[in-house]
A and B are shown apart, each in its own frame.
Chain A
Amino acid sequence: MAEETTNPTPAEPATAAKAAPAAKPTSPAAAKPAAAKPAGHAAPKGPPLATLTPELAQLQQHFGESIITPAPYVGVLVNDLSKLRDVMTYVRDQLGFDMLANVTAVDYIKEGYLQVVYHPQRSKGGQPITIKVRVPRGSDPVAPTEVAVPSLTPIYAGAEFQEREIYDMYGVRFEGHPDLRRILTWEGFYGWPLRKDWHEPYYEGDTKPFDSRWPGGHHELAEERVPWGDNVNYPPGFDPLNFNSDPDAGLYDSMLSGVPNAPIGPNGHAQQAPQPQGVGAAVSVYDRNYNTLADEEELQTDQIIVNMGPQHPSTHGVLRMVVKLDGETVTDLKLALGYLHRNHEKIGERNTWLHNIPYTDRLDYICGLANELGYVITVEKMMGIKPTERAEYLRVIMAELTRIESHFWAIGFLLNDLGAFYTPALYFITERDLILDLFESVTGSRLMCNYMRFGGVSRDFTEDQLAHARELAFDRIPRKIDELEQLLTENEIIKARTIGVGYLPAERSINYSLTGPCLRAAGVPYDIRRADPYSIYDRFDFEIPVFYGADVYDRYRVRVAEMRQSLRIVQQALNQIDQTKPGDIQAGKKAYNHRVPAGEAYGRVETPKGELGFYLVSDGGQNPYRYHVRSSSFINLNALKEMTVGHKVADAVVILGSLDIVLGEVDR
């Protein structure tokens, strides 16, 4: 599994408390001398230099002084911002880290800087490396940082949304970003919500349990406590009768070129956003010949901009696609996200470690158990504990059943998008309900199972439940998958609608950080269960299905094949679980308050949607200092534009369906 890239001392309290988010040097400038001579680390029990991975050592050798290792932290720090692009280009081209798994930021408020953290990885597999840069926070709480970080979009196309998110949450400016606007909140939002000194309207304390509730149990309605009597807050002097509310101006501006009589937004007429560059991007999407009929050019059709969503039957929730159409052909596409932004990360940083488990269920609410697994194994690595044998098996059984259930759902709704309205979905929901019955009988809930714990799971399977699982895994589901394939795989209409649609070749997919079935449908055999194994997946005999069409059809076929492989895993796990001790489901004592040693970790699992990563920073306390979710649904959407431009609008819906996004995970 991924967990931490280097932190070799997960259980070591020495780096603890205060040292925590603060490398001992208190400013980036002060960090330099210490780092130039890495051997001279004064940090007590900081990781010895030998823990630098060979890649990082090579990087350091190549770039010399501009790269330092700020012990006791993981990874390396690029202290010369202007070198960042060179470093990352080197990392991509020379070291082979061709995929930017994750980008996020952390607000080290005491030290006065914001740290942007990159996790590049190899599509061939292995652990990601950690590269960081720092920018001063600046004094103005509502202005973005004065110092800008060079945007990595020209090197890794997958950075686009992630950088926008960092801008939105922390106010870090990215220079050279094609479209740096707020993404989860709206244009005009006051402040940078994930900064540590930004408080939400219902703010009660920095960390839970709040003094008012613990241990007395007293509580009051938040509305009665706050100045506005509601979950709102306005800057002083705000005049609600006279303000400019046009959150969409920037969005339309960025799409208007080429639209006749387009109104010019307040920001002036924006240029066409630059096209993605990087590996394989030589052919601009605009060069594709989508006007195959000669007459179409003579028709001189107007381009129009059409909003699909946030309330639209095809967008799988509250996603909003804004498409520019020439006739029926999509010539540009922008996404407006954040309609389900539930502030998962801000809440997660207030919560205790344990509190967050049920919240992860609500990320990708189709496959809650898979999300829980990602979170608990990341925290376990930081705490240095291991679950019991039986718990490992139970986790794998649950996670793989979740994958089957999620793929049933994804395929059903893909067909919905293809126009087979509801009938196929009804078949698959029936099967899914049978799996959910098992979840419910074991965990007490159909969707939000809250099942995994640090070091174990919350309940064991009874004999009956094991029998139920066996019946599903050995009899019912295999039959149903056969039936599904019989009905769909060779279906002429499905083939006609999906083959060649939404094509995105392997190298572009990698550059876009695409993960999950969509990447494997493009011929890249990248699955974290194999690429960077976690839990006990190394014990099972299974394959990673790969197809090479890189289109909607193959994304469908990968999912079907994966369901079969998941079944194999469940079957093996059910056979082996008898060798473990019933009831032995929790390592150590049950605990409510966990203290996680100071440090940071990036842990990831393969959920049905792709790579789900958790980037966690602990300052040694009961709450995460930073809690970031790297969600595949969100990052996969980066590639939607390139997949869609040139297709008809009806196909745009299908392509979106083939990505299988879940809005809870997109917007978090």
Chain B
Amino acid sequence: MAEPTNANVSEEFQNDPRVPDELRNNVFITSLDKLYNWGRKRSMWPMLFGLACCAIEMIATAASRHDLARFGWELMRASPRQADLMIVSGTVTKKMIPQIVRLYNQMPEPRYVIAMGACATAGGPFKEGYNVVSGVDKFIPVDVYITGCPPRPEALLHSFIKLQEKIEKQSLRNVPWYRQGEEDVVPVPALGPDLVDMRRAQEIKEKAAQAAPALEQPTA
């Protein structure tokens, strides 16, 4: 839709003789999208969920000096059912990823994910570890990535601003959470001999049937 700017709308409105005097300066007209997004972006409830070192900086961000409350985002909820934002603050391990996916699935839409720090983004310094997932985006969709190990609190604040910008651009008409049909549920990975991504089960089965994987290599 061709969106008139707020200023235009107000002017038109103010000049309209049908509008009673006392309302002239008290009414704003905007699009539903704008109102909806404006409200949402200023009242995110992040999940109280820390994984590793980055969580310490996340707590520092919420504390007095950096004061997350300025953004209206300070209400950390311990339950995923009450949260709309998951800050993946730390190293995602194979042992933990089933829980992370389950928590993500339990969050009601609209939900957002911030991958905080090198580990959550791509595995970070521990990427080569046998129990480390190379980035949480291998399993759940991420909205904002922040670099750093750990990112400074300012960087986390920056990611909030970025996420606010993203929210502002969303429109009620095409956001995924009002569409019809099933909700997106990420299948929870399982812990077998190694982490099993259930979406790739068929492929894994086929490959494992024919391949002699690296584990069998003789040592030097």
- The judgment on whether A and B are partners is yes
- Is there contact, CB below 8 Å, between A235 and B193? yes
A663 to chain B, nearest CB (A): 7
Q: Which of A203, A310, A339 has the most CB of B within 10 A?
A: A339
What string of 1s and 0s marks CB contacts (under 8 Å) between A442-482 and chain B? 00001110000000000000000000000000000000000
Say whether B214 contacts A239, CB under 8 Å: no
Asked if A186 meets B128 with Cβ closer than 8 Å, knowing A227-B207, A239-B205, the reply is: no
In the A-B complex, the 4 residue pairs with the closest CB atoms? A343-B129, A190-B193, A365-B53, A200-B130
9-residue interface stretch from A66-74, A112-120, A425-433? A425-433
Closest to A223 in B: B134
CB of B78 within 8 A of CB of A312, answer yes
Give the CA-CA distance A365 to B91 in the complex, in Å: 12
Q: A241-B201, A338-B131, A340-B51 are in contact. List 18 more A-B contacts (CB 8 A).
A: A190-B193, A200-B130, A206-B220, A222-B127, A227-B214, A231-B134, A232-B197, A234-B193, A238-B193, A238-B204, A238-B208, A313-B48, A342-B126, A350-B128, A365-B53, A426-B64, A433-B63, A448-B150
A-B contact pairs, 12 of them (CB 8 A): A232-B195, A233-B213, A238-B204, A240-B208, A247-B191, A311-B103, A342-B91, A342-B93, A342-B131, A350-B128, A429-B63, A447-B56
Among B50, B64, B132, B214, the residue within 8 A (CB) of A343 is B132
**Interface 1/0 per residue, A186-217 and B, CB below 8 Å:** 10111101001111111110100000000000
Shortest beta-carbon distance from A168 to chain B in Å: 11
CB within 8 Å of B: which A335-365 residues:
338-344, 346-347, 350, 358-359, 362, 365
- Pick the residue among B129, B201, B207, B217 that contacts A199 (CB under 8 A): B217
Residues of B contacting A196 in the complex (Cβ-Cβ under 8 angstroms): 219
Q: Is the Cβ of B201 less than 8 Å from the Cβ of A359?
A: no
Of B126, B127, B207, B215, the contact of A191 (CB 8 Å cutoff): B215
- CB–CB A429/B64 < 8 A: yes
In the complex, are the beta carbons of B123 and A362 less than 8 A apart?
no
B7 CB contacts on chain A under 8 angstroms:
none
A238 to B130, CA, bound (A): 18
CA of A564 to CA of B132 in the docked complex: distance in angstroms?
Answer: 40
Distance from B132 Cβ to chain A, minimum over Cβ atoms (Å): 6
Contacting A at CB under 8 A, from B73-103, are 78, 90-91, 93, 95-96, 99, 103
Are the CB atoms of A429 and B59 closer together than 8 Å? yes
Check A365 against B213 for contact (C-beta < 8 Å).
no
* Contact partners of B93 in chain A: CB under 8 A: 338-342
Cross-chain contact B191 with A342 (CB below 8 angstroms): no
Task: Determine whether B198 belongs to the interface, using a CB cutoff of 8 Å to chain A.
Answer: yes
Q: Within the complex, which residue of A185, A203, A350, A447 is in contact with B131, where a contact is CB–CB below 8 Å?
A: A185
- Tell me whether B213 and A359 are in contact (CB under 8 A): no
Residue-wise interface mask of B (149-167) relative to A, using a CB-CB cutoff of 8 A (1 in contact, 0 not): 1101000000000000000
In the complex, which residues of chain B have a beta carbon less than 8 angstroms from the beta carbon of A317? 50-52, 55
The distance in angstroms between the C-alpha atoms of A338 and B190, with both chains bound, is 16
Q: Do the beta carbons of B152 and A446 come within 8 Å of each other?
A: yes
Is residue B125 within 8 Å, beta carbon to beta carbon, of the partner chain?
A: yes
Q: A358 — which chain B residues lie within 8 A by C-beta?
A: 125
Report if A232-B131 is in contact (Cβ < 8 Å); known contacts: A239-B208, A241-B205: no
CA–CA, A311 and B152, complex, Å: 23
Contact A311 B99 (CB under 8 A): yes
A47 interface hit (Cβ, 8 Å): no
Contacts of B50 in A (CB 8 A): 317-318
**Number of A-B residue pairs with CB-CB distance less than 8 Å in the complex they form:** 199
User: Distance in Å from the Cβ of A187 to the closest Cβ of chain B?
Assistant: 8
Given contacts A238-B192, A365-B52, whether A200 and B128 have CB atoms under 8 Å apart is yes
A64: interface (CB < 8 Å): no
Q: Which residues does chain A contribute within 8 Å of B96, judged by CB atoms?
A: 310, 318, 339-340
- Would B65 and A433 count as touching, CB distance under 8 A? yes
Docked CA distance A228–B200 (Å): 10
Interface residues of B (CB under 8 A from A): 48-53, 55-57, 59-60, 63-65, 78, 90-91, 93, 95-96, 99, 103, 123, 125-134, 138, 149-150, 152, 190-198, 200-202, 204-205, 207-209, 211-217, 219-220
In the complex, the answer to whether B129 meets A200 with C-beta atoms within 8 Å is yes
Q: Complex: how many Å from CA A30 to CA B209?
A: 43
Collect the chain B residues with CB atoms within 8 Å of residue A347's CB.
126, 128-129
Query: Which one of A186, A191, A193 lies within 8 Å of B95 (CB-CB)?
Result: A186
How many angstroms between the C-alpha atoms of A663 and B54 in the bound complex?
12
Q: Which A positions have Cβ atoms within 8 angstroms of B?
A: 109, 184-186, 188-191, 193, 196-204, 206, 222-223, 226-228, 230-241, 243, 245, 247, 310-313, 317-318, 338-344, 346-347, 350, 358-359, 362, 365-366, 425-426, 429-430, 433, 446-448, 663-664
Q: Which residue of B lies closest to A247 (CB)?
A: B191
Q: Which of B52, B128, B201 contacts A240 (CB 8 A)?
A: B201
State the majority secondary structure of interface residues on A.
loop
Q: Distance in Å from the Cβ of B58 to the closest Cβ of chain A?
A: 12
CB distance from B149 to the nearest CB of A (A): 6
Task: Tell me the bound Cα distance from A236 to B194 in angstroms.
Answer: 12
Task: Report the Cα distance A425→B63, complex, angstroms.
Answer: 8
- Whole-angstrom distance from the CB of A183 to the nearest CB of chain B? 11
What's the nearest-Cβ distance from chain A to residue B143, in Å?
Answer: 20
**Shortest CB distance A341–B (Å):** 5
The listed residue (A186, A204, A226, A433) touching B60 by CB distance below 8 A is A433
Bound state CA distance, A446 and B193, in angstroms? 38
CA of A191 to CA of B215, assembled, Å? 9
CB contacts (< 8 Å) of B133 on chain A: these are 231
Most buried by A among B49, B209, B215: B215
Give A663 to B51 CA distance when docked, in angstroms: 9
Instruction: Report the separation of the CA atoms of residues A236 and B93 in the bound assembly, to the nearest whole angstrom.
Output: 23
Chain B residues within 8 Å of A223, by CB: 134
Evaluate whether A203 and B99 lie within 8 angstroms (CB atoms) in the complex, with A245-B192, A247-B191, A340-B90 already known: no
Shortest B189–chain A CB gap in Å is 10
> Which residues of A lie under 8 Å from residue B216 when comparing CB positions?
236
* A190 in contact with B215 (CB, 8 Å): yes
When the two chains form their complex, are residues A341 and B55 in contact, meaning their CB atoms are under 8 A apart? no
- Decide yes or no: A227 and B125 within 8 Å by CB, A222-B134, A311-B49 being known contacts: no
B63 to chain A, nearest CB (A): 4
Q: In the complex, are the beta carbons of B134 and A240 less than 8 A apart?
A: no
CA gap between A339 and B191 in the complex, in Å: 12
- The interface residues of chain A lying within 8 Å CB-to-CB of B128 are 200, 202, 204, 222, 343, 347, 350
Closest to B220 in A: A206
Report the nearest A residue to B66, measured CB to CB: A433
